[in-house]
C-alpha cells in the first residue's frame, strides 16, 4: 500500500525502509494536504484553499522530475514550492512544539533542512525527525531510479515500525494546532477589519 502514499517502490525496500518512507510521507502530507490548505484558507477563504489544493495536485501529477515531464512540469513544481512555503514553515514549528523533543526538532531543522532538495519538505521532515528522535532521508528508490538524499535528524535512531503510529499521532496534533491557529487568525483579522471600518462589512 506504500505507493498510495508516495512514489517509492516497495519491492526494493525492507521493513525498516518502508517504515521510514511512511513516516516521511506522513510528515510531508501533513504540510501539503492539511496545514498548507488551512493556511491558504485563512488567507483567502475557500478560493485560497481550493487554489492551493489545485496547485499541489498539479505538481503531484506533472511536477516530478522525469524525462517525460521535465519541461512541462517545472512551472507547476516551482508554483507548488511558493504556495507551500508558509504551510511548511508552520508545520515545522508546530511539529517542534507538539512533538516529544522540541530542542531536537529545532536542532534538526537548523542543521539538516537546507540540505534537502525540496525547500518545503526539508523543514517538515527534519522537524518530524527531531521531534520523534529518528533519522529520515538517505537512499531512496523511485521506480527503479536511485536517489541519495541527506540524512535528517542524524542524532536520532533508525525508524521502526512503531514510529509510524507516533508520526500519525504527531500529525494529528499538528493538524489540530494548525486548525486553531488558522481559524483564530482568520477570526482576529475579521474582527480587526470590522473595527477599522466601524463595524461595516
Q: What sign results for the dihedral spanned by CA atoms 23, 26, 29, 31?
A: negative
Name the residue with cell 519538505. 121
142, pLDDT greater than 70: no
Listed residue (51, 74, 38, 28) closest to 178, CA to CA: 38
Q: Which residue has the higher pLDDT, 9 or 40?
A: 40
pLDDT tens by residue, 77-99 = 888 899 999 999 999 999 999 99
155 φ, ψ to 5°?
-80, -10
Q: Give the mean pLDDT of 10-23.
A: 82
Single pTM value for the model: 0.88
Say what angle helices 70-98 and 121-132 make with each other, to 10 degrees: 30
Read off the pLDDT of residues 115-131 as tens digits, 9 standing for 90 and up.
998 999 999 999 999 99
The mean per-residue pLDDT over the stretch 49-67 comes to 77
The candidate with the shortest Cα–Cα distance to 56, out of 102, 3, 121, is 121
Task: Say what the pLDDT of residue 181 is.
Answer: 97
Closest CA to 179 of 98, 68, 83: 98
pLDDT score at 68 = 62
More confident residue, 24 or 57: 24
When comparing pLDDT for 139 and 191, which is higher? Answer: 191
pLDDT tier at 182, thresholds 50, 70, 90: very high
CB 174 within 8 A of CB 30: yes
Of 109-123, 135-149, 158-172, minimum mean pLDDT range? 135-149
Q: Please report the pLDDT score of residue 101 as a whole number.
A: 94
Amino acid at each position: 500500500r506504500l505507493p498510495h502514499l508516495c512514489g517509492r517502490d516497495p519491492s526494493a525496500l525492507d521493513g525498516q525502509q518502508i517504515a521510514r518512507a511512511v513516516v516521511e510521507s506522513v510528515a510531508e502530507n501533513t504540510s501539503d494536504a492539511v496545514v498548507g490548505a488551512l493556511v491558504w484558507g485563512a488567507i483567502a477563504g475557500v478560493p485560497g484553499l481550493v487554489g492551493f489544493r489545485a496547485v499541489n495536485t498539479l505538481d503531484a501529477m506533472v511536477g516530478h522530475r522525469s524525462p517525460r515531464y521535465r519541461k512541462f512540469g517545472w512551472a507547476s513544481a516551482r508554483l507548488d514550492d511558493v504556495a507551500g512555503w508558509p504551510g511548511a514553515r508552520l508545520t515545522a514549528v508546530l511539529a517542534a512544539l507538539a512533538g516529544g523533543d522540541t530542542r531536537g526538532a529545532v536542532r534538526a531543522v537548523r542543521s539538516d533542512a537546507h540540505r534537502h532538495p525540496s525547500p518545503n519538505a526539508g523543514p517538515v521532515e527534519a522537524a518530524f525527525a527531531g521531534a520523534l528522535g529518528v533519522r529520515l532521508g538517505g537512499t531512496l528508490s523511485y521506480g527503479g531510479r536511485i536517489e541519495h538524499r541527506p540524512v535528517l535528524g542524524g542524532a536520532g535512531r533508525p525508524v521502526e515500525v512503531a514510529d509510524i503510529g507516533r508520526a500519525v499521532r504527531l500529525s494529528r496534533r499538528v493538524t489540530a494546532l494548525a486548525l486553531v491557529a488558522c481559524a483564530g487568525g482568520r477570526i482576529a483579522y475579521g474582527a480587526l477589519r470590522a473595527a477599522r471600518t466601524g463595524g461595516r462589512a
